[in-house]
Chains A and B, each alone.
Chain A
Amino acid sequence: MIRSGTVDIAFWMFSAGSVVAAWLVFRTDSMVRAAYWLLASFAGVGALMVLLNARFLGLVLVLMMAGEMTIMAVFMVMFMMNPAGLNPMTMVHQHRTAKIAGVFAFAGLALVGLVADFPDRPADARRDPTSDLGRELLGDSMLVFETAGVTLLATMIGAIAIASKRGRYGDAEQGSAPPALEEKPPEPAGMEH
């Protein structure tokens, strides 16, 4: 077993690392770096969860976030008019709103931290959290998770239907385009003149 002193040091290292990485998200001048600093922050949180014996959840967090942050980076780059996202750009805007929202969020969370009565029930170290999690997902919490799961699945299917080759505006390979606002004589789709 790893000594508890090591765990403590690791806990503080990962906690501090997560906070610093999260701060760097806003201090960097590049979209891709911002996305990956956020990933680093999440990976730190994942490591904390592993240290807290929620190994499965911690690893799954890293697994999911790796894909999601990459997708986020690609979409940011493609939506911004910044070739390849390598030209510098600021990651902070709407300063006043951001400051107010930041202060309120911090105050709220701090309040919860100070006031809330956190449960203090040491769990049996021999119990396997992963199998406990599985039993929970397919037991008492089944309705909640299945509802969320089916909703997400329906959303995904909807998104795929919209983005598919035979999308809203006809076959993508034929160069589909949204219909024009004015009435125009119908043109065969995809013909190039």
Chain B
Amino acid sequence: MRWSSPLGAVVLVAGVLSAGAYVVAVLDVALGRLTAAGHLRLRHALRQPLDETALLLLTRPSRTERPDAQAWALAPALLGAMAAAAVATVPLGRGIAVADVADGIVLFGAAMAMVMVAVYLHGWSANSPMPLLGGYRFIALALSYEMPLALVLIAAALPAESLSVGAIVASQHDLWNVVRQPLGLPLYLIAGAGLAFWGPLDTADGPDLAGGTTAEVSGPSRVAWELARRFVLVAVAVMGAAVFLGGWQGPMLPGPAWMALKTLVLLAGLVWMAHRVARVRLERFVVVAWTVLIPLALVDVFVSGAIAL
């Protein structure tokens, strides 16, 4: 099958995203239980996400008073589509890529910028205060981490002298970017957690907003929104594995296996962080993002640029 054919593309992207989302859900249940009770029931962790999804599919979607119904339905689709576009640019093995285009990293950036649109639209269109506040908060957060995100991706593209994700993977043949640019991956993961409003950066749907952007959705709409959000997290991890952990390259195992392994490591890290780190205080995070994270990202770009020269 040619992966750039329409059928191949759908199979590959949907497969990666769904498998990733399931893994995230399982890890989430497992780590939650490990923290709460000190032990783990693997069967429970494997079944729980499926049971919960089934329950939501049986539950009726809720209505608010005069929502913008079309925008409300569009938002999860847009969020999921952006995650799919982001994954499509990443080669998952030698020659296994839907669209390893020459400006792949820019495409990823544009898709991740559209995440902001999807989240605000979802928060706003419910016509309810808590989702709206969640939307506002997401924008405040997103504007703070978009810059570090863009800068570390540019830094990663410098040694490759190309904006194509495939070329960036190839440029790490001898040395992974995580070693070459030690600032890159941590900054990228912080921004990535923010993009999926995940873990300590879940200010858009934290319990202090009674669920924020998810506060008014139930049933299948809830499934759609939560899935789309996990898709974004998976897209972030896939791109992180490609750009900072050498992508599909590695000894012995075939390329896709390495890619899956590296993605899994990043996803596990992100889920662990969510259970371990308390939610950030928005105001402080914004200050830190502008006064610490952006300068660090600039240092990352300058140093990487100097080395690349």
Chain A residues proximal to chain B, CB less than 8 Å: 30, 32-33, 36, 39, 46, 55-56, 59-60, 62-64, 66-67, 69-71, 73-74, 77, 84-86, 128, 130
Contacts and interface: CB of A to CB of B under 8 A. Distances in A.
A153 B113 CA distance: 21
Contacts of A36: 71, 117, 121
Given A59-B106, A86-B68, 5 more contacts: A32-B120, A55-B106, A63-B106, A66-B116, A67-B142
A60 B110 contact: yes
14 contacts: A32-B121, A33-B71, A36-B117, A55-B101, A56-B106, A60-B110, A66-B114, A67-B113, A67-B142, A69-B117, A74-B120, A74-B136, A86-B66, A128-B102
A85 B135 CA distance: 13
B132 interface: yes
Contact of B143 (A33, A39, A67, A130): A67
A183 B107 CA distance: 57
Interface of B: 66, 68, 71, 101-103, 106-107, 109-110, 113-114, 116-117, 120-121, 124-125, 127, 129, 132, 136, 139, 142-143, 146, 163
Given A66-B117, A67-B146, A73-B120, A55 B110 contact: no
Q: Is the interface of B mostly helix, strand, loop or mixed?
A: helix
B113 A62 contact: yes
Contacts of B142: 67
Nearest to A40: B117
Contacts of B101: 55
A84 B106 contact: no
A177 B254 CA distance: 64
Please name the 7 residue pairs, one residue from A and one from B, whose CB atoms are nearest each other, closest first: A66-B113, A63-B110, A59-B106, A62-B110, A63-B113, A59-B110, A55-B103
Contacts, number: 72
A67 B101 CA distance: 23
A30 B68 contact: yes
B166 to A, nearest CB: 15
B137 to A, nearest CB: 11
Given A62-B110, A128-B102, A85 B124 contact: yes
A30 B69 CA distance: 13
A70 B117 contact: yes
A130 B103 contact: yes
Nearest to A160: B290
B103 A32 contact: no
A65 B207 CA distance: 31
A130 B124 CA distance: 37
B286 to A, nearest CB: 11
Nearest to B163: A130
Nearest to A63: B110
A60 B107 CA distance: 8
B124 A56 contact: no
Among A46, A56, A59, chain B packs the most CB atoms within 10 A around the CB of: A59
B188 to A, nearest CB: 17
A108 to B, nearest CB: 31
Contacts of A73: 120, 124
Contacts of B102: 55, 128, 130
A66 B103 contact: no
B296 to A, nearest CB: 18
